[in-house]
Structure 1
Amino acid sequence: MKKILVPIDFSEHSEYALQVASQIAREHHAGIVVLHMLGVSESVMAKSEEEEIQEANYYMKLAKKKIKNFLEKEYLRNIPIEGIIQNYKIFSEVNQVAQENDCGLVVMGSHGTSGLSRFFVGSNTEKVIRTSEVPVLVIKRPHESFKVQKMAFACDLELEYASVYHKVAAFAELFSAKLEVFYVNILGANYMGYSDIEKRIKDFNGAIGEEVPIRIYNYHSVERGIFNFCFEQGVDLLAITTHGRKGIAHFLAGSTAENVSNHAKLPVLTIKL
């Protein structure tokens, strides 16, 4: 990993992301690219050309000053940092910046507090996740020491997830973490029997080209099952797959979007299918 992209809006949550990114960058000798989306309003753009230039320059200078102050952190000392300010209005541009700057990871703060679905849906974080070809690490609280000893990958055993598994495994290796792969078997009408699950596990292992132990966790909803499993297993980082423009809601279709207080602040790594 050469560089890590951190979108910032100068909030405490973007500072949480920057703090974690600094620890990862220092550990792996990587640089950090800080992105601020200026978002000059349409009212500015509707003014005369001269007024537009003057006002845009004013906001640009203000943003540069705020970034300079924002980056005056002891934990960033000796880490190569680049600052980018753009007048972006759509969040797919974050992916473009990541690609252009050869960033292998996006680290982003989120203020969501009500489980996985509320964690993402409707937020700027979710908008970035839906369009990012680069894995996105979502951080919700400060981490003075970001250590990942155990990762968990929530997988629905579809064969298309095979490519995602290898990316997750690479991140587990990057963090020197033990990786647990698990499937939430929903109790009720959609419950799968032992033989059906065994076949899906066999087919999935065939698709990824290795025998990976996959744990089955029986629960009445996907979301609570994911968080309960992470809590019981002492997981430090949860990895899940997103489906592009379908968003995180597709992953959670049919689940109960309930808050799991024990893991409301669990870091989540999202990787696009």
Structure 2
Amino acid sequence: MYKKILITTDGSAVSNMTACAGVAFAEQMHAEILALYVAPEYQYPVYIEIIPPSYPSEEEYRIAMQRAGAEHLQAILDAAGKRGLPCQGLTTFADSAALQIVEVAKQHDCDLIFMGSHGRSGWGQLLLGSVTNKVLSHSKLPVLVHRLIKEPAA
């Protein structure tokens, strides 16, 4: 049914557990996996006149975020490898993670976006916003939302 599934991660424990569920789902579908980590764009310090020497350059920031992305994606790559599923990891940069997820899924011809929900409701969801809700409202592809019943231990 699904040939290529986009699985997102933000590196959190909830996201990692969701990613493992996504890999298990992909195995049932015999689908290829595209694992995605969206890093925030570099921000120049606008509140000061001179950039402090300890502040990372844009190049240093990008290198650090590529490294962090690779670390976050490794669990998905390992899980897919153990199941014999083809998997590619990708780290991208964007101010809006939700829009980037939708765009990457479209660019890479994915059939499904598999992502988690932290399960916030009420004011928590309203104040924090929800990447998952934004993906649901912007994606023309099917989005499978995995919701954990119990929060993982820290």
- Give the TM-score band, short-chain normalised: 0.7 to 0.9
How many Å separate the matches in 1 of 2:9 and 2:103? 16
SS in structure 2 of the partner of residue 40 of structure 1:
coil
Is the radius of gyration larger for structure 1 or structure 2? 1
TM-aligned CA distance change 1:19 to 1:76, over 3 Å: farther
Whether the 8 Å CA contact 1:110–1:125 is kept in 2: the answer is yes
Match of 2:61 among 52, 55, 59: 55
1:129 paired residue among 119, 136, 152 = 136
- Stretches of structure 1 lacking an aligned partner (at least 5 in a row): 143-273
Q: Which runs of 5+ in 2 are unaligned?
A: 150-154
Q: How does 1:117-266 map to 2 (within 5 A)?
A: 122-141=129-148
Give 2:83's aligned residue: 77
Q: Is the 8 A contact 2:42 2:61 kept in 1?
A: no
* 1:175 match: none
Deviation at 1:129, TM superposition (A): 1.1
TM-score (norm 2): 0.74
Aligned partner of 2:103 among 89, 92, 96: 96
Aligned to 2:111, the other structure's residue is in SS state strand
Cα deviation, 1:26-66, whole Å, max 9, x if unaligned, reads 12211111110111341279x6xx92212321221232233
Which residue identity is paired with 1:55? Answer: Y
* Higher-RCO chain (CA-CA 8 Å, sequence separation at least 6): 2
Could you state the TM-score of these two structures normalised by the residue count of structure 1? 0.44
Q: 1:66 to 1:14 in 2, by over 3 A?
A: closer
Give, in whole Å, the separation in 1 of the partners of 2:22 and 2:94. Answer: 22
CA contact (8 A) 1:95 1:131 kept: yes
Q: Is the 8 A contact 2:6 2:114 kept in 1?
A: yes
Letter in 2 for 1:18: A
1:40 equivalenced with 2:46 (yes/no) = no
Decide whether the 8 Å contact of 2:19 with 2:76 is kept in 1.
Answer: no
Q: Distance in 2 between matches of 1:54 and 1:65?
A: 17
Contact map agreement 1:35 1:85 (CA 8 A) in 2 = yes
- Measured after TM superposition, the shift of residue 69 of structure 1 is 4.7
Verify the 8 A CA contact 1:44 1:52 in the aligned structure 2.
no
CA contact (8 A) 2:20 2:76 kept: no
Q: Percent identity, aligned pairs only?
A: 28
- Displacement of 1:75: 8.1
- Work out the CA distance in 2 between the residues paired with 1:14 and 1:89: 19
Q: Which residue in 1 is equivalent to 2:152?
A: none
**CA root-mean-square deviation:** 3.2
Count the aligned residue pairs.
Answer: 140
Change (3 A) 1:93 1:138: same
Deviation at 1:119, TM superposition (A): 9.5
Q: Distance in 2 between matches of 1:61 and 1:21?
A: 23
Distance in 2 of aligned mates of 1:2 and 1:56: 31
Judge conservation of contact 1:34–1:82 (CA < 8 Å) in 2: yes
Q: Is the 8 A contact 1:16 1:139 kept in 2?
A: no
- In structure 2, relative to structure 1, the CA distance for the partners of 1:139 and 1:41 (3 Å cut) is same
